[in-house]
């Protein structure tokens, strides 16, 4: 164990209580992520300079996108976690499937749920699904950041053993570990927010699909890098040849992201 390892801070998982109902940091993190993403999206669609002549949803219509995305993220994230990361446990404890406040949300499932919600929103308002995907890609890193911070506070999804001076001694876990949740918050959250923001400012919304593609490639690469530091569950997540379930599920995101980038380029070329 490194001499400079950091003991896990004593964080009460309950932020405050309303009578008998506890309000947990875990749930608040997702609420903050969704609300701040919604506010950022409203700001983006109000800026004419970012869009040129590309049709886009109105700021008021994004209220529906928030609802669709929130439902998709929760339902998709939970179902994916149940099916791919703990099916045997949830078959034995079916009541736990609905206990999302106990943790257990799979990002890739949440992403699929958000994608379905965004598609339904696009159909309802007659907006290109690629444009809606661009908005979601620009704001998604905000929610990812708060979600990874929630993973740290819980704590869950900690890293592999480490002798680095910033390694953390998590409760109930042997030895000091990489705070991989914070690595992911930085890579998949803050860094990706900056990268997608730069593409937005450079006119990315004028090429529908580009920002969404950049998000897909960026998240896939960031998650694969983070998986080298994150401790996989040996029964559920660890695969052969040093691979993990997170790596395997992230690879299609890179492929889809590259396709979206190429699609946006071809669409722009067809207009010119």
Higher pLDDT, residue 176 or 110: 176
Decide if 54 contacts 132 (C-beta within 8 A).
no
Whether the predicted pLDDT of 222 surpasses 70: yes
> What pLDDT score was predicted for residue 271?
59
Q: Please list, in sequence order, all residues whose beta carbon lies within 8 angstroms of the beta carbon of residue 270, skipping any fewer than 6 positions away.
A: none
In this predicted structure, the answer to whether residue 98 has a pLDDT above a threshold of 80 is: no
The β-bridge relationship of strands 21-24 and 168-169 is unpaired
- pLDDT for 227 equals 95
Does residue 16 sit in helix, strand or coil?
strand
Could you tell me the maximum CA-CA distance found in the chain, to the nearest angstrom? Answer: 62
Question: Per-residue confidence at 270, pLDDT binned at 50, 70, 90?
Answer: low
Return the pLDDT at 168.
95
Q: Is the pLDDT of residue 17 over 90?
A: no
Q: What is the pLDDT of residue 2?
A: 56
Q: Residue 109 — pLDDT band, cuts 50, 70, 90? A: confident
> What pTM did the predictor assign?
0.85
pLDDT over 90 (residue 223): yes
Tell me, what's the pLDDT at 102? Answer: 62
Residue-wise pLDDT for 49-75, tens only, equals 999 989 999 999 999 999 998 888 888
Q: What tokens appear for 146 in the block?
A: 């708060």
Question: Which pLDDT belongs to residue 140?
Answer: 94
How, if at all, do strands 168-169 and 6-7 pair? parallel
The predicted model gives 114-127 an average pLDDT of: 94
**What does the CA dihedral 35, 110, 29, 257 come to, rounded to 10 degrees?**
-70
Query: What is the token pair recorded at 251?
Result: 């690879």
Q: What percent of the chain has pLDDT over 70?
A: 94
Find the mean pLDDT for residues 83-89.
Answer: 75
**Residue 144 — very low, low, confident or very high, per pLDDT cuts 50/70/90?**
very high
124-129 CB contacts, 8 Å cutoff, 24+ apart: 124/64, 125/57, 125/61, 125/64, 127/55, 127/56, 127/57, 128/55, 128/208
Beta strand ranges found along the chain (DSSP E): 6-7, 14-18, 21-24, 168-169
Q: Are 114 and 74 in contact (CB under 8 A)?
A: no
- Position 235 scores a pLDDT of 66
226 by Cβ neighbours in 10 Å (0-12 / 13-18 / 19+) ranks as buried
pLDDT for position 256: 96
The pLDDT tens digits for 225-235 are 999 999 987 76
Between 131 and 25, name the one with better pLDDT: 131
Give bridge partners of residue 168 from the DSSP assignment: 6, 177
């Amino acid at each position: 164990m490194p001499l400079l390892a950091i003991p896990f801070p004593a964080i009460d998982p309950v932020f405050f209580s309303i009578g008998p109902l506890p309000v947990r940091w875990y749930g608040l993190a997702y609420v903050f992520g969704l609300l701040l993403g919604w506010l950022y999206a409203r700001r983006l669609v109000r800026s004419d300079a970012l869009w040129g002549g590309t049709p886009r949803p109105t700021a008021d219509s994004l209220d529906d996108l928030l609802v669709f995305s929130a439902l998709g993220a929760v339902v998709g994230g939970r179902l994916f976690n149940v099916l791919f990361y703990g099916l045997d446990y949830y078959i034995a404890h079916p009541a736990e499937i609905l206990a999302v406040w106990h943790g257990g949300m799979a990002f890739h499932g949440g992403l699929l749920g958000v994608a379905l919600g965004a598609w339904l929103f696009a159909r309802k308002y007659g907006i290109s699904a690629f444009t809606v995907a661009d908005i979601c890609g620009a704001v998604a890193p905000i929610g990812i950041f708060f979600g990874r911070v929630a993973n740290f506070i819980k704590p869950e999804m900690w890293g592999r053993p480490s002798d680095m001076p910033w390694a953390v001694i998590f409760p109930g876990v042997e030895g000091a570990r990489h705070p991989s949740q914070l690595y992911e918050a930085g890579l998949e959250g803050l860094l990706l927010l900056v990268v997608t923001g730069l593409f937005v400012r450079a006119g990315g919304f004028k090429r529908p699909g580009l920002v969404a593609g950049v998000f897909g490639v960026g998240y896939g690469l960031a998650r694969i890098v983070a998986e080298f530091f994150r401790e996989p569950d040996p029964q559920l997540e660890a695969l052969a040849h040093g691979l993990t379930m997170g790596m395997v599920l992230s690879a299609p995101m890179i492929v889809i992201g590259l396709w979206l980038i190429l699609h946006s380029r071809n669409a722009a070329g067809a207009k010119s």
